[in-house]
Structure 1
Amino acid sequence: MAFLSSFKSTFFIWFLLFSTCTNHGKDQKTNAETGVRAQDSAMVRPVIVGADRTELYLNRLKNKKVGVVANQTSVIFKKPQTDGPENLGHVAHVHLVDSLLAHQVNIKAVFAPEHGFRGAADAGEKVKDGVDPETGIPLISLYGKNRKPSAEQLKDLDIVVFDIQDVGVRFYTYIATLQLVMEACAENGKPLIVLDRPNPNAHYVDGPTMEKAHTGFLGMTEIPLVYGMTIGEYAMMLNGEGWLEGGKKADLEVIKLKNWSYDTPYSLPIRPSPNLPNDKAINLYPSLGLFEGTNINAGRGTEYQFQRYGASFLDSTKYSFSYIPQPNFGAKNPKEKGKKCFGKDLSQIPDQNEVSLRWLIDAYTNASDKGRVFNTSGFTKHAGTEKLQQQIEAGITEEEIKAGWKPQLERFKKIRQKYLMY
């Protein structure tokens, strides 16, 4: 099958297909799953993702008609060939769907989220229903005519499996898809298994909290921008807090990770979506993702998505860095296409452990036409509040803005604590 290429990074990765790992501890701090950073010790136990723990879920799928919610990240990892430097950092894997079929699991449908089953569609681009050419399995889009599986689409299924890599940012739409799938399963009496994966931004909680008036597909619940949980933990919180529509609860099982903790450095071996190409982009996404609600380019249409920002209407005398966005993979029509954008290159800055507003404030401050910066409705949907745009336009400092987030962040952390598993 054609998969998106692995990240180009120097990582030793040790995975055994369908294997288990012994001597693991809940409080043990280890390095990565499919990504042990080169600067960390190579003598660590690998993190085992939920999908690899087949012994915990295969029996539940036998003799059942199964639906799978999946994309290109839904893989089981195998031990790579490491007999030469040319193989370093290449993660051998098999797609979950292929693995289940090899075990004679009866997959009746695959549900595809934003960006599609293969992960190649642009952000916001509608994904069509179809048939997977590799397997002949019907593909049902959850980013087209409907975003929630219908009763008709679920009626012939006995159970649903959800396995998608998240990056821990509220407006990254896979958690909205999870919530709608959970609601559909709860309404139609279908059990749901979530195969957990690490969250590369799990080491902190920060950002403005979504206000109820602005909830939507970029944020369906009143949570902070960065929520510090795995997708499995988030599913448990949706269930436990009664946040599904009508207060219903899904028949939910989460297949846990092994050998992972919240501060484990974690490098995604497969691009989770077209415009998150590497560790740096994922780390900066909580901060630079706010530019999605503006008319400023955040690196789409370049090879440095979410690692730079700029616009033709930023004051060229204030910046030494410039670039020109052009259509490319994942960005057929990027903002400021073909225009010389003045801004900043952030690809070499240290990793962030917070949502930073300094770049958004910088861009607004140095816009030659400040009226061109914000796409107000889009920014409100991303920020979750009208207040943030108003504060930036009023010249409120980053420190003052972030101080206002603290009470809601503390309330959320108390809720979150009940569902943490690692």
Structure 2
Amino acid sequence: MRLERAGTMARPYKVFTPAKASVQTGAEQTNLYTSSLRGKRVGMVVNQTSMIRQTHVVDSLLALGITIKTIFAPEHGFRGTASAGEKIGNGRDPKSGVSIVSLYGKNYKPAAAQLDSLDVVVFDIQDVGARFYTYISTLHYVMEACAEAKKPLVVLDRPNPNGHYVDGPVLDPAFKSFVGMHPIPVVHGLTVGELARMINGEKWLAGGVQCSLTVVPVKGYTHATPYTLPVAPSPNLPNRQAVLLYPSLCFFEGTNVSLGRGTDTQFQVIGSPTYPSGPYTFTPVDKPGAVNPPNKGKLCYGYDLTKIDAQKLGLSLKYLLDFYQKTPDKETFFLKTNFIDKLAGTDQLRKQVIAGVPEKAIRQSWEPALSRYKQLRKTYLLYL
């Protein structure tokens, strides 16, 4: 694992293989948006993925004379080193000197007072295309705050590495949470910019408000374009394989099964101390970005998925169904909190797994909502 340094802070995230040179993110195309930022007080919603090649977008814009007053940091923090769910505090970036406001923990949404001193807000965070990945929830609250404060929002768009398909149950609003805020399927097939357009257009913000939104689109990208993220989007999605497996494996976050947090193969292995069979074993331990991981210190039995064709797999339920069917104590398989319901956006999936419903029938139950969403999606697409 390569350690990138910013100031005196080491960032334990991997740098992936560079993306195709023909694809240019919104952030890279500074000629399209810097003129609208000059002379204004700018707030930046960014993290470690907000790069223009080898330079952070904050540093790039400061070098171009843009006045950045505030950095708003999402889950995992500005430099991306915090564990999932870990509360992030406010502070100051040691490199740029810009103040940092956390948007994770108690303060999901920028307060009106935090926007008073700003003229415009810029959102530039790499998403992975799954509804339960919380950066799009941060996007929602930032849009809402900007709408209420009448501050324009500029989204610097980035490709969706899982943008080549749409799948999964559509969220029932009764199960709305920070890991699922919109009536969209688990794999929504939208970039952040396209989703922002949908949130605005469908009036999903509180009170039906709409923000003044500008999307700087990706150049040279279609939803069929294979895209490897230049920087790991969070500590526990360390490579392309993990990103592609994430939509299928994240359901296990609502169970007693380990997803490899606390190993070097996060979201690429699955296992449990009580699973009766499986050719692979691992033992989770404390790691940067994975403090007190599930099943810490316990030998877990299961599967190594590092070599399977994850792109071809798409969104699969076979591993979830297999582990439930073979677990000796089904009463403790799903967490007592029923967190699986928030991840799925419905309690139907949990009940279907318990009832032994086959995957084909489970998929059929996602209709007609899934087909309706696919039709709605067409309205907001910026890319083929």
| 8 A Cα contact 1:380 1:386, kept in partner | yes
Q: Would you say the 8 A contact 1:295–1:372 is kept in 2? A: yes
Asked if 1:322 is matched to 2:281, the reply is yes
- The amino acid that maps onto 1:338 is G
1:7 and 2:15 are equivalent in the alignment: yes
Task: Give the superposition deviation at 1:5.
Answer: 4.9
SS at match of 1:406: coil
CA distance in 2, matches of 1:410, 1:191: 33
Give the superposed CA RMSD.
1.1
Q: TM-score, normalised by structure 2?
A: 0.95
CA distance, structure 2, for counterparts of residue 324 and residue 3 of structure 1: 24
Aligned pairs (5 A) from 1:22-421: 34-36=18-20, 46-77=22-53, 93-315=54-276, 318-353=277-312, 354-375=314-335, 376-421=337-382
Amino acid at match of 1:355: L
**Which amino acid counterpart does residue 47 of structure 1 have in structure 2?**
V
- State the alpha-carbon separation in 1 of the partners of residues 330 and 275 from structure 2: 9
Cα drift, residue 319 of structure 1: 1.8
The CA deviation string for residues 64-120 of structure 1, in whole angstroms up to 9 with x for no partner, is 01100000001111xxxxxxxxxxxxxxx1101001111111111000000000000
Identity among equivalent positions (%) equals 52
**Cα deviation, residue 8, structure 1:** 5.0
Tell me the TM-score normalised to structure 1 length. 0.87
**2:324 is paired with a residue of what secondary structure?**
helix
Return the offset for 1:145.
2.5
Residue aligned with 2:100, SS = strand
d(CA) in 2 for partners of 1:351, 1:63: 46
Matching residue's letter, 2:235: P
Structure 2: how far apart are the matches of 1:418 and 1:358?
Answer: 32
**Which whole-Å CA distance do the structure 2 matches of 1:193 and 1:8 have between them?**
26
Q: SS where residue 70 of structure 2 aligns?
A: strand
Offset from partner CA, 1:253-297 (integer Å, 9 cap, x none): 000011111011100110100000001000000000111111110
Residue 4 of structure 1 and its aligned partner are, at CA, apart by: 5.0
Separation of aligned partners in 1, 2:115 and 2:315: 38
Q: 1:351: Cα distance to partner?
A: 2.2
Counterpart-to-counterpart distance in 2, 1:321 and 1:99: 45
Q: Structure 1 residue 320: deviation in Å?
A: 2.1
Q: Is the 8 A contact 1:313 1:367 kept in 2?
A: yes
| Runs of at least 5 residues in structure 1 that lack an aligned partner in the other structure | 10-33, 37-44, 78-92
User: By how many angstroms is 1:329 displaced?
Assistant: 1.7
Unaligned runs of 5+ in 2: 1-5
Whole-Å separation in 2 of the counterparts to 1:306 and 1:192: 33
Q: Distance in 1 between matches of 2:269 and 2:226?
A: 23
Show structure 1 runs of 4+ deviating over 6 A: none
- Counterpart secondary structure, 1:264: coil
Secondary structure at 1:218's aligned position in 2?
Answer: coil
